[in-house]
Structure 1
């Protein structure tokens, strides 16, 4: 009798173990299988949250088939305690295993709200954007001028400022001066600290930089300076042969002039060729942006046309008066202008003038240039008459 009972018990135990193993294998397959959600979602994990709260959100969004399996899987992977607060983009069809990895790996939030401080040459703007998970693009929700006295920040800006997972980014325009960078940083109210000294002109890389609330303004300048040093060193290392430039510093000066002369990407190397040809022939550069810099020294914009007396006025930067390059850059050039300065097009151009389309008309001879100038004067007169 006892043998019969023992035999039945062993049989039952084998069946239980077998069933348990099957359940575990089924749970593992569910945890790693493609998720049911047909669209990406933005999952916000609040500070102080836990896997139970997160699993309920995922269930309500239809991103997981079972919150219990999600929690058990995270526990088994020993990731439950690694949950990170933030807004996380969960791709379409992400498995529970994928989701666990996304919300525990850390780093900057990958979706949700972003505040962009755009620092331009003549203006500044704060833009609040949110990620549209359907398109994968950030859509603008609000924008305002932080320097305007009569404009108050929109309600959405005040709201997102209280969210711990809001991302912040500063976008600096190419051709901005170092003084303008420092002034622009003053309106980025998530940063802290004062700037002791305006950095040397040209030594800051205009680009987009992600920052965190509480970062110092000096730390942003350091990052910009480090980035520009890397860009300049790489460009100078790969420079074309035979350039009339003696150093990377001279290349930076030339790049800053190119940056201020054209906003058309396709003609940067043509503009560079004009100045290189003039340097090789001993001609003065005769470029208006250097005259303007001699007047303002990078502190703001001139806001009017140049006078004949200013074109003739002696300053260290007036290339209508001085020979060769000015002593310093006149702005902070972007990567493309630096690369154009060290690798110009091969042309015989020594003149250029605006052509009315936003670009320039180039010429090899003075006669051809005078015709281009006459055409430009006609365009100006037509526009003034309309």
Structure 2
């Protein structure tokens, strides 16, 4: 069940928390009895960008405890990112089909598969309904991590999901409920690789439409960019009508439709620079060392942009723009009728910024 619509204050919220605790706390307690193997399960079931941002804290955890056996649970398509830190036999994957009720509740098949193992502790670095509904049924001595208010009593120790910068710190918060990993958190960016002559990649879509700049703006930007260097539009297969894609081709851009994360990753790797919106592809480019520029409107770049000086931001700051929290007050743009923060950014302004960056990095 999705509980975001219930405020974390008031009688209703406390009642929901009480019912969840009453029903599920005994289950957690029963699954905490017995002997457990000396290994730690880390539950990381995120979207693309968040998955990549977890790597900072998990790398530091692995470095602090080199002889500890950590097992990571992630989605199938994100195994490739965790292979940079974990051996193949330390990665367990699942699919979004292992969940039901809109991806909110763990299915019996996934629970049964994971109950074949036991863990000294579980660290939930996702902190949402779908992970809380899973870890209560697994065999483990302790349960740590980040948690929403309604599920906090199901954990041995947890921290609330923070609403101030940066997203990376959320995952550090989760890890540090169970392990000390040093006084200084590391925000070291992924190494940048300059690939002169490769195309400029455009990725126009985000996880919700209110963060998007619009295909018309990307089309107008393409007409400006192709005069100076090769341009490649990368979109999810069948997401954009064929006549719109033909328009990009007519303007001189290469068009690539991808069916999965692996194909998206390959297209982004084969580029010199990426321009997009607040979305997973921007973080994927950062992971591959590709410099980026991203438009931010109803979201706060200080909260979620990739780390490093090669990952830049263009935004129009208004009175309603989020400056200290992740989202604007209008439900991250979902309740905004004007979207002036995005409309105020012109293709010409973006073009000029890309030209400046490309020249500075000597990409062409």
Verify same fold: TM over 0.5.
Answer: no
Normalised to the residue count of structure 1, the TM-score between the two structures is 0.27
Structure (1 or 2) with the greater strand fraction: 2
TM norm structure 2? 0.28
Ranked by relative contact order (alpha carbons within 8 Å, sequence separation 6 or more), the top structure is: 2
- As a proportion of its length, which structure holds more helix? 1
